[in-house]
């Protein structure tokens, strides 16, 4: 009757590894490589993340001023 929308989507989107700034590393807390992918949820493009980012420094400011 046109009173509502129905959206369905199927497919796959590959994970992309994120480039990290100097001083940061992948697999923070043993959570794996930091990656993202774009997915479609109910007609809305969304961003998914997985993995962890680690940083090690001794005192003072974090590498790259935490940027």
In-domain check, residue 67 = no
Q: pLDDT tens per residue, the chain (67 residues)? A: 556 666 565 667 899 999 998 888 999 889 999 999 998 887 888 899 999 999 877 776 677 766 6
In-domain check, residue 64 = no
In-domain check, residue 13 = yes
In-domain check, residue 17 = yes
In-domain check, residue 43 = yes
In-domain check, residue 66 = no
Please give the Cα distance from 26 to 15 (Å, whole number): 14
pTM of the model: 0.67
Number of domains making up the chain: 1
Nearest to 54 by CA among 28, 32, 31, 29: 28
> Which range of residues forms the domain containing residue 23?
1-55
In-domain check, residue 61 = no
């Amino acid at each position: 009757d046109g009173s509502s929308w129905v959206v369905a989507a199927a497919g796959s989107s590959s994970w992309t590894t994120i480039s990290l700034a100097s001083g940061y590393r992948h697999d923070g807390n043993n959570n794996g490589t930091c990656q993202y992918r774009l997915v479609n949820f109910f007609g809305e493009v969304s961003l998914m993340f997985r993995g962890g980012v680690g940083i090690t420094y001794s005192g003072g400011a974090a590498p790259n001023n935490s940027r």
